Structure formats: C-alpha cells, structure tokens
Amino acid sequence: MNDYSQAVFDFYKKHLVNGVLDKATYVADCPFCHEKGLDGSKRLTVTINREGFFHGFFRCLNQCVSGGFPLWYASLAKIDPAEVPGYDPDREYLFQEVDFPVRSINQQIRKFQENLTDRIINHFQDSGISESVLHQLSIGYNGRYIVYPYFQEDGNCYSARCIYPDRPEDNFWHGDDAATAEQYRLFNVQDIQRCENGALVLCEGEDNLLTLKQMGLPGIAVPDSQAFESIDPERFAFVKTLFIATVNNTESEIRARSFASRVGHKVRLLNWPAGLSRNYSLWQLARDTGSEFSARVISMARNSRAFSPFSSPKREHDRFFETLNDQLGSSYEGLKSGFTRLDKAIEGIHGINVVGGAPKVGKSCFLIQIATEMARRKVPIVYYDFENGRQKIYQRTMARLSRIEVNELRAASFAGEQKRHYESACREFQKLLTWFRVVNDRKVTPEIMRRHIDFIRHETQREYTVVVIDSLHKLPFKDFNERRTGIDAWLRQFESMRDEMRVSFLVISELSRGENGSYRETPHMGVFKGSGDIEYSADNALVIFPEWSHQDSAAGSERNNNLWLVASREHSPGLVATYQLDYPFWGFRELEGS
C-alpha cells in the first residue's frame, strides 16, 4: 500500500475491535450497533483496496448508521479529526445559507413507510432491492405512488417525489413548494458529507441509486438529467472521485459531460456498452442480470476514465488527417457558390461567411440564389428564414429557374416555349427540394439547429452541410436588451457546429448607418451592426455595396452591386465582383471584367 492507503488501514485497525482482514475487506465489531440497541451479531466492514476508488469506505451490515469514509467515521465515533488521514485543518468549507421551511414532513414520510405493501416490496425485489435498503432511504407508499423523500443536510425532509410504479412520467412533488426548487433536488444528499476524501456516485433517477445502495455503495441522485445544470460543482469540492451514472441516451450523456466539465478531472462517467436500448438504466440492468449486476457495475467503474474536456492525442491526430483527406474529396470541393469570381476570392463556401448590406439591397435574393444553386448540385442546405417567408423564397426560385415573372407564375397559364420552361423549372424545383429545407420557426435554438443538421445529413447521406441564416439579427434572443450578447452567443454556437459537424454558414447581417444616416460608408468591419464578435467569428466577412441609390426609382435591371471582401482569415480583402440584378427574375449576374 502507499502511505495514505496504509494510514487509512491503520486508522481503522486502531479504532475497531476484533478486526480481521478477509481479502479486500476488513471486518470488525460495529461500535454503533450497541449504542442503538441493535443485534450485535452484525459486523462492520471496511473496503481495503489501495487501487480501488472506495478504499476506506465503511458500512454496518446492520445499517445502524450510514456508511462513509474515515472523516465521517471519526465524526460518528467522536474521534479527534486530527487523527484521520487526509484531514486538513485549514480546509475552508463552502458555506451555503439555506432557508429551510419552518415545518418538515418527517411524520408523513414515516407513515408512508408504514404503508409499503407486499406488491410494492415485490416491485423493488424484482430488481434486487431489499426491504432494508428501502428502510435505509425511507422509501414509502401513499396508496398509489411510491414516495421518495428528499432529506436535506439538516436531517429533515420538506419535500418528496411521488412516482407511479413502472410509469416514471407520472410523478409529482409533495410537500412544501419552496423545498421543491432546484437547489433541493438531490436525493440522499447527506452522502456528500459522508464521502469527504472518498468516492461518490451521482445517479440519474432515484431507482437507479437504489441498485447501488443495494451493493453497499454511497451515492446521491437527481430526478432527471436536466437537474445536472443546476447543481453547484462546489458541493463536490472535497470528494476525490465522482462517478456519474446516467440512463442510456444522448441527451443525458451531453448534460452529464457539460456538468463534468464544470466539476473537473475528478469525474468519471459510467459508459454503457453498445447495443443497449435507449433509456436503458441501472434499474433495468439489475432486473436483467440478477446476481451478476454487481460485477457488471464494477466492470463499468473500472473501465471508466477520468473526464477530460480534451480529445485524446490519438483522436486529434486521426481527426487532423481525416479532415485533410476529406478536403481533397469531391464533397468538400463541391461547396461552391456558383459565382466564379466569388469562389475564386474565398475558395468556395467554407466556414462562417457573414454577408452584410443595406436594407433592400438584395442580400436575401443573393443568398437564395447561392443556396438553391448549391442544392441543385446536391449540397444539403438548411435555410433559416426570418425575413421573407417560405412562399416568397419558392416563388423567387421558380421565377429564376423558369425565366417567368412571379405575377405570371401565379396565373399559371402558359403556352409554347414558356410552358416548356415552366415544366422544366418545376422538375428542377422538385428535385432541389430534397436538398433545400426552409425553416421559419422563430423559436429555434442551437440544439434544434443541430438536430436539423443531423436530419438532413442522414436523409441525404452527405458529410457536409450549408446553413443559411436570414438574418443574424432576427435570431431569437431571450430579451431584446440582450441582443448584443445574444448575437455573440449564436456566433459561438456557429463556431462549434462548424468545427464539430462539418457545417458551413452563410449569414446575413444588418449594417450600421453612417454619419448622415445612410449606408454609403466605404465597407469595413465596423459597418456590421450589433456585434463586435463578427470580426473574430467570421472566416469571411463580405459587404454588398450598391452603386445605386435607395431613393432611385430606376428599373431593377439597372441596379449593380459591388461585393467586397472586407476581412478574411485566409484570403486577401478587396473587391470581389460586381453583380447585376437579373430583373424581374430575382437573381444576379456576375459581370465579366468587374
């Protein structure tokens, strides 16, 4: 044993009577059973395994006291903590001022315990949970729902979660409403203090914790994975190792990883083997494996690795060369706008491309054309439209494809050459819709956007996707006053999707007015409205700069726009090209010699 492990063993040998080391377990008389007037034939066990995470964890087989690690044992036995290995007299504990309700529901909880029926007891025994574990955690029954009491650090219960057997979605909170707030939603929370300088398991779901308590392990639980977001990581400041056991689904894993990144390296995630059904849990594992359950859980713990927010060096190496190889492939090369000079200036639509311009200058029209032409070349496009509406986007696309004005399209009365153009455009339009998806949901979130990207990648079987945002300033924010920070937060999300999901972005941005309230200011990074982070997030920042006045009533065909690259990570800024509005067919032509 190392020095600390040996010191822990010596501590227990000194303070326990009639102790015997049996393989990895030290067995002795329980000093607390006699005090509580319990049968003294039961023994106290201590896990002795210097390579194990639960080295030094004690528990009474009579369950006269709650188990824990040496500092908790010293507290119960009234031993000077200075004698305990690992005791730090200068340790500063997090002080949480908690306003507990005046009245507890302790008496109600005891009555619920007395109401446990044979049917409910058998319900637990099917997953190997004994009556003694139910008693230890004060599990009860109200005649219809199983009652899980949420005792707090002061030893009292103010709220309980009531769950219908085998139907977890049917549940409610009982007790003081104030004690059902997020900070109170840690089941068996007192085990945190008992596991100082030791290991603890954090479970998703109370039933899953019961299976571990049956094994004799310490742990706490949250009602569901959403509660991970509200847990203060400082609660686990003095726990050496924190295992996290979630149910088997992606959402829970993501939330657990997010929480783990706030706690740090002490976290170890229990990973489920491949092939198990969605939402598979420790409760189901216990029911399916019976006596083999403990061995399965121990194997999961041994195979767990300390959480790291970083990819392994091997994964980084492989990802780098995978990306290089992908960029030599046709899918990556196929991410072209269709405008020769633009593709030459920025080498295709890669990364985050922010396109700014004055109102009514044609930003949406320009990006609709790029997006639909890419879709015609079988590039998956997700177009988030908060400006024009789905019907207008489709009408303009049909007008461009058919060379028929929108008003005539509505009439739908064609003959001769015009009819052939219309029918050809209809066929093209129908094909491109497989690759071009318009989203008008103004409640879109980054998580929903990721799911949309996953769906279109799955449906089209393509690795690369292009997302169009029309426009950045119309994305949903919690509060209008938070627009600046909200835009910057969305840009951070775009960066993450770009790097993790092989997504390129075309993002329309508003411009700030110049000194005289006009948009005639020479293009530069400062003209983008509402976000300083565009400068840092955009791989390419472009501005459409009109050669015509907004007050000019000239025909659309006489309107030319200059496209400027004002900033780029890899390309030289300057004039890209001049684009003439293809009036009245809602498109642009890139002019030669521009």
Where do the domains of the chain lie?
A: 3-83, 110-303, 330-590
What is the CATH code of the structural domain delimited by 330-590?
3.40.50.300
* pLDDT value at residue 379: 97
Q: What's the pTM value of the predicted model, to 2 decimals?
A: 0.62
CATH 3.90.580.10 fits 3-83, yes or no: yes
Give Cβ neighbours of residue 130 (< 8 Å, ≥ 6 apart): 124, 214
Residue-level pLDDT, tens digit, the chain, 594 residues: 579 999 999 999 999 999 999 999 999 999 999 787 776 667 999 999 988 999 999 999 988 999 999 999 999 999 999 999 999 988 876 655 678 888 999 999 999 999 999 999 999 999 999 999 999 999 999 999 999 999 999 999 999 999 999 898 999 999 999 888 888 999 999 999 999 999 999 999 999 999 999 999 999 999 999 999 999 999 999 999 999 999 999 999 999 999 999 999 999 999 999 899 999 999 999 999 999 999 999 999 999 988 887 777 887 888 788 878 877 788 888 899 999 999 999 999 999 999 998 888 899 999 999 999 999 999 999 999 998 999 999 999 999 999 999 999 988 788 899 999 999 999 999 999 999 999 998 889 999 999 999 999 999 999 899 999 999 989 987 654 566 678 888 999 999 999 989 999 999 998 876 665 555 566 666 678 766 678 888 999 999 988 876 555 454 557 899 999 999 999 999 999 999 999 899 999 999 865
Q: What angle, 0 to 180 degrees and rounded to 10, lies between the N-to-C axes of helices 390-402 and 416-432?
A: 130
* pLDDT value at residue 378: 96
What is the CATH code of the structural domain delimited by 110-303?
3.40.1360.10
Q: Each residue of 506-534: b (16+ CB within 10 Å) or e?
A: bbbbbbeeeeeeebebebebebbbbbebb
Inter-CA distances, 214 with 28, 135, 206, 429, Å? 21, 12, 13, 62
Torsions phi, psi for 543 (to 5 deg):
-130, 130
Beta bridge partner(s), residue 164 = 167
Q: ∠228-230-234 over CA atoms, to 5°?
A: 90
* pLDDT value at residue 517: 53
Beta bridge partner(s), residue 574 = 565
Q: Each residue of 357-394: b (16+ CB within 10 Å) or e?
A: bbeebbbbbbbbbbbbbbbbeebbbbbbbbebeeeebb
Q: Which two tokens stand for residue 335?
A: 């991410």
Beta bridge partner(s), residue 209 = none
